[in-house]
Amino acid sequence: MYHILHPLLRVYRILLSPKASGARAIVTKNDEVLLIRNIGVNYWSLPGGVLKRWETPMMCLRRELKEELGITIRSADYRYRLGTYESAHGDHTDTIHIFVIEIPSFYYKRQWELDEVRWFSRDDLPENLSPATSRRLAELKRGEKNIVAEW
């Protein structure tokens, strides 16, 4: 049923939300990064989601990581904000906040809304990364921080 609702939810969001904000994380452990593949999507991306009205980007990220992966983020896990990015879609613009999080364990528990979750070595990433995820991981590799740019 989710396969049917997922595209409808995207259309609803595009038509009725002139601006949306989201938060995503580059979740790391040692030299590995945790990537997700959403249901019905062929590319790997960073975990995260859309902010609710009352949430800060970090509150959203904590909620999404707990819901999607069973990962609880402590303040010690937060390393820094990689950047804030704008993504224009016709008559609306999305803002995406990216954080770098180092977690103490490789443990996660994939929930129903994800098709696949996997740890990848930073030197051996999958070929089918989303273009934005590829750019964010390249920025991380270069040591960039507090970026303000297009998605």
pTM for this prediction: 0.83
- Which one-letter amino acid corresponds to residue 107? Y
Q: Residue 56: which residues within 8 A CB-CB, separation 6 or more?
A: none
- Tell me what pLDDT residue 49 has: 94
- Judge whether residue 1 has pLDDT over 60: no
Specify the higher pLDDT residue, 135 or 4: 135
Residue 68 has φ and ψ, to the nearest 5°, of -85, -35
111 against 30, higher pLDDT:
30
Could you tell me the pLDDT band of residue 151, with boundaries at 50, 70 and 90? Answer: confident
Tens of pLDDT along 126-143? 999 999 999 999 999 999
Residue type, 138: A
Can you tell me the mean pLDDT for 12-30? 78
Domains assigned to the chain: 2-150 (3.90.79.10)
Instruction: Return the sign of the alpha-carbon dihedral for residues 127, 44, 27, 53.
Output: positive
The predicted pLDDT at position 47 comes to 97
Q: Could you tell me whether strands 78-89 and 147-150 are parallel, antiparallel, or unpaired per DSSP bridges?
A: parallel
Q: What is the DSSP letter of 76?
A: G
If residue 16 lies in a helix (H) or strand (E), which one and from where to where? helix 2-16
d(CA 116, CA 89): 27
Under a CB-based contact definition with an 8 Å cutoff, are residues 27 and 71 in contact? yes
Q: pLDDT tens digits for 70-92?
A: 999 988 888 999 999 998 877 77
Beta strands in 30-122 (DSSP E): 32-38, 48-50, 78-89, 92-102, 114-121
